[in-house]
Amino acid sequence: MSTTTVDPAEIAKFEAMAAEWWDLNGKFKPLHMMNPVRLDYITQQIAAEFGRDLQDTAPFAGLRILDIGCGGGLLCEPMARLGAEVVGADAAARNIPVAQIHAEKSGLAIDYRHTTAEAMAEAGEQFDAVLNMEVVEHVADPQTYLDACHNLMKPGGIHICSTINRNPKSFAMAIVGAEWVMRWLPKGTHEWSKFITPDELFAFLEKAGMTPVDRKGFVFNFARFTWSISDRDLSVNYVTAATKPG
């Protein structure tokens, strides 16, 4: 790899938690709780971009989808069930066998790889959709990383990226609440200084050559203990969609 935005310290954090990816009450419990709203947003955006009907048996058949920072495969498996050809890539080597074994047990054919966005872009890989969920806040250079994501997209493709806003509320919720109080994640999983505001992310995407087309918030309701999608509240977790002209 001639270039990489991998942050070794960030990779070490997720390597240490690799075995717990499919434990619903383990260290990735927040992602399991959030996954339904993530999947709802992702599937709606891809279906709209490519004119697919989600009521069909395999609505994403013929689409090649990449999940960068795939972890244990929490998003790869639903995409495969929807008929897509799925590649899951992760810079943390220990995540790959966990994902492979779970996919095999589930009867799903998913191409999991220990690699980076930069390496795949340099190899000329191309995808209809690139999923980039909760990764950009962990890389060493967001702009270079998003440039690589752009290069991985086919013309007319879609890029879906979620991350965490940077403000006092996100520090209170994502670090104090999730790591210190609820102990959903080990202390130090996130660094507030690496969080990215929606306007900053849109600027990164535009500089990379993408056209931002949507952004929504993922909002946690403590009273109901559930996540929902919001058109207005992007104060903590949020997601964006951007396309590649062509």
State the binding site for S-adenosyl-L-methionine.
38, 69, 90, 133
Residues in the annotated binding site: 38, 69, 90, 133
The bridge status of strand 127-133 relative to strand 64-68 is: parallel
For residue 37, the SS3 value is helix
Distance CA 100, CA 110 (A): 8
Distance CA 74, CA 178 (A): 20
What are the tokens at 203?
């600027």
What are the tokens at 157?
């493709």
Burial letters 202-232, b for 16+ CB under 10 A, else e: bebbeebebebebbbbbbbeeeeeebebeee
Q: What is the dihedral of CA 25, 80, 189, 92, to 10 degrees?
A: 120
Distance CA 208, CA 151 (A): 9
Q: What residue has token string 């890389």?
A: 139
